[in-house]
Copies of this chain bind each other. A is one copy, B any other.
Amino acid sequence: MSPDRYVPVALSARHAHLSQEHVEALFGPGHRLTPLFDLSQPGQFAAAETIEVVGPKRSIPGVRVLGPARGRSQLELAATDGVALGVNLPVRVSGTIEGSPGAHLIGPRGAVRLSEGCIVAARHLHATPRDAERLGVADRQKVYARVPGPRGLIFDEIVVRVSDDFRTELHLDTDEGNAAGIGKGDSVEIVSSLCDDLCRLEGCPIAPAVSPGVGRPFCSFTSDKVSIR
């Protein structure tokens, strides 16, 4: 496979984004988040602050807060965490928390009852415009990512987001990283069409007609609705 289709993986462990109001409720009036180290996406940082997240079944202590503070509080958790907390977490694009489960948050100076905001972040690819061109992908299209090795698998349903503000990375959560046996520093192959990109059959009558990113499951010609003779 050609090396120029590879991108690094960023694994997101469970974390909290907090509104400034909730920062002050949990850590005290006038409190500002303390940057601990920079994250790979420009401007984002892991804060020194952690909170305890309490669900109906169990609680999870030491959940890292990320900064800067946002408009609305949101907890990005792994589905495994949902089992521990006792809530059924929906898979959502970051920022779309309507109707998601809430939780109680406990900080050193107070507690907050969050009525909604607990989600599993949908897997997605951040790409700079330059890398998007290199990878042959466009903003908002869906792609695959192929992971080799003894726990090899092919992630489907990866939404591409292109912006000059991004660093190019595939964002997965810890469940996904653990299921695929990959971690920080690993790279995976981005595949926009299994048929077109992976087969690359010069003699195949299908591949030349496949538009990147369309055609599911693998290309529009191989679905049950279309018969090729």
Contact = CB atoms under 8 A, between A and B. Distances in A.
A194 interface: yes
Band of interface residues on A: 35 or more
A48 B102 CA distance: 33
Interface string A143-160: 000110111111111000
Nearest to A152: B156
Interface stretch (A22-30, A31-39, A170-178): A170-178
A184 interface: no
A222 B198 contact: yes
Interface stretch (A103-111, A129-137, A201-209): A201-209
A208 B147 CA distance: 27
A95 interface: no
A138 interface: no
Contacts of A195: 199
A20 to B, nearest CB: 31
Contacts of A203: 205-206, 228-229
A31 to B, nearest CB: 29
B228 A181 contact: no
Given A157-B152, A201-B205, A178 B78 contact: yes
Given A151-B157, A199-B195, A206-B201, A178 B181 contact: no
Contacts of A122: 150-151
14 contacts: A79-B179, A146-B217, A149-B157, A151-B157, A153-B155, A153-B156, A175-B178, A176-B179, A178-B179, A195-B199, A199-B206, A200-B222, A203-B229, A204-B206
Interface of A: 1, 78-80, 83, 91, 122-123, 146-147, 149-157, 173-176, 178-181, 194-195, 198-206, 217-218, 221-222, 224, 228-229
